[in-house]
Amino acid sequence: MTVACSLVDYLREHQLRLTTAESCTAGKIVTLLAEVPGSGSLIESGYVVYSPEAKQRLLGVNPCTIDTFNLTSREVAEEMALGALRDANANVAVATTGILGPDDMDGIPAGTVCFAWAFDMRGERALFSRQERFFGSRNQVQRWAAEHALVQLRHFHQRALAGERR
């Protein structure tokens, strides 16, 4: 069973509806899920936001957060996830921002990806974020990052159910 198939079953079982805020993964998270038959009712929306302006305009990312922490940061990923969750009719959001490569950028190594998972738990928000580094071609890093976002969604949802909020 693929990562996406397993997650679709999990989303359905836990009555989760997903929105994404994707920068470096460029919609691949939604694409992987959408390839699974019956997943349409579990996907609310997907934002693909590359530029700082799009992150600010569509997701409400604070320009000061970008200036202080850089576009590739957990803080920006967190604001992206919360912005997508706030705007969507969903109860879970996943966000990605990073440097696919092949070159490093602004002192950030190629393959660095920041993730955030936000959950609406009966009106309370739970937010988790991580930074990971993947090694491979640009396309491999993008694919692995999208799959990682899906795999970790279940893990962080379980932590949110246990009462963790960060």
Whole-number pLDDT of residue 25: 98
Helices (H), the chain: 3-13, 28-34, 52-59, 63-69, 74-87, 138-161
Per the listing, tokens 């349409």 go with: 40
- Is 3.30.565.10 the CATH classification of the domain at 3-161? no
Closest CA to 116 of 162, 163, 84: 84
Which residues of the chain are modeled with pLDDT < 70?
1
Cα angle vertex 28, ends 160, 144, to 5°?
75
Q: What is the pTM of this model?
A: 0.96
Domain spans in the chain, listed from the N-terminal domain onward: 3-161
Percent of the chain with pLDDT over 70: 99
**pLDDT, tens digit, for every residue of 63-88?**
999 999 999 999 999 999 999 999 89
